[in-house]
Amino acid sequence: MGLPGCAKTLLSKNLGTVPNMSSKNFQMRTSRVSNMRSIFSLFSSDLAIDLGTANTLVYAHGKGIIVNEPSIIAVNRVTGEVEAVGKEAKEMLGRTPGNIIAIKPMKDGVIADFKQTEKMLNYFIQKASEVHLVEQAMVAAIGAGLPITEPGGNMVVDIGGGTTDIAVISLAGIVYSRSVRMAGNQMDEAVATYLKRKYNLLVGERTAEQIKIEIGSAFPLDKPLTMEIKGRNLIEGVPKTITVEDSEIREALGECIATIMNAIRVALERTPPELSADISDRGIVLTGGGALIKNLDKRIREETGLPVSIADDPLASVVLGTGKMLSDFRLLRKISID
């Protein structure tokens, strides 16, 4: 749909009876950004939804996180029926039979396929109501426990599946924000490309992701790591197992990490001096799954000289933040885009 700027998060508040959503309606309203109520039909409790490129999390008021699944849907090509959603659909990635396709309806932090996104959300949440659109970095900051309503700068770097969102927040407002299309997915691709170039080894995207998660790093490790990788040799066309070292995967991720480092540097340069001083005290907080890349915090610390911390539960910061906002209507009003 192409909403500008950083990735956005949907937050639904129970408002009472509202009409059923149709996909046209959804598109129209979502693209209008403002007045985003009544997207879904009636729901019995308030929900916060983090619709991420890689993962979708749903938080229910008073219940906590009730859905935490990959943003993937498997659809039957012939009947159009949904075969599987979330974890089950992810299992199918790369191994679907001809008539089933696994779709990732979110790309680069925005909704790329409305129909499938709607179907996926329907599966995850069935019904909801009033929807607010909030800046993702802001809720990530709240979820990470940053005092965003106080005068003082906070820098959040949210490294997700499709985008890295960097924001400087003060007094519940965004002072600076930038979204770069460099995050987890691009790292997975970089790992796959590296193995293809160096070893003529073809690996699927799930394997590439596992390698990144297990031995990927942004700065030399104290203890070297190795991993056995199964793939298909491109020349011989047969399955093959090789062993790779952490240093190789660090090299593979080099450009991706450099792009993120550069975006952080630019953000620091563009931050007003008063807030810079705050950030040098409070440091930078990392959220999103990409925050878990080994020694990424260390790398940022080394290069910027600033304190860097990782949110307690980086994959859940956004949904936890939206959850907090559900119980704080004043805060929600303050920071919602409409």
Chain residues in the site for ligand ADP (CB under 6 A): 52-55, 160-162, 184-185, 209, 212-213, 288-290, 292-293, 315
Q: Which one, 152 or 321, has the nearer CB to ligand ADP?
A: 321
Q: Which one, 18 or 195, has the nearer CB to ligand ADP?
A: 195
Among 24, 51, 60, 54, smallest CA distance to 39 is for 24
- H or E stretch covering 202: strand 201-202
Q: Which one, 54 or 332, has the nearer CB to ligand ADP?
A: 54
* HSE, side-chain direction, 13 A CA sphere, residue 277: 4
Whose tokens are 């859940």? That residue is: 316
As measured in angstroms, the least distance from the Cβ of 188 to ligand ADP is 6
Longest Cα–Cα distance of the chain, Å, equals 63
290, interface contact from Mg ion, ligand ADP, none, CB < 5-8 Å by kind:
ligand ADP
Binder among 143, 152, 153, 160 for Mg ion (CB under 5 A)? 160
Using CB under 5 A as the binding rule, the residues of this chain from 12 to 71 that contact Mg ion are: 52
How many other CB atoms are there within 10 angstroms of residue 247's CB atom?
15
Distance, CA of 21 to chain centre: 25
As measured in angstroms, the least distance from the Cβ of 151 to Mg ion is 27
As measured in angstroms, the least distance from the Cβ of 16 to ligand ADP is 30
**CA 195 to CA 231: how far, in whole Å?**
9
Q: Which one, 81 or 313, has the nearer CB to ligand ADP?
A: 313
Q: Which one, 118 or 209, has the nearer CB to ligand ADP?
A: 209
162, interface contact from ligand ADP, Mg ion, none, CB < 5-8 Å by kind:
ligand ADP
185, interface contact from ligand ADP, Mg ion, none, CB < 5-8 Å by kind:
ligand ADP
Contacts of 153 (CB under 8 A, 6+ apart): 168, 169, 170, 175, 271, 274, 275, 276, 277, 278, 279, 282
| Contacting residues toward Mg ion, per CB under 5 A | 52, 160
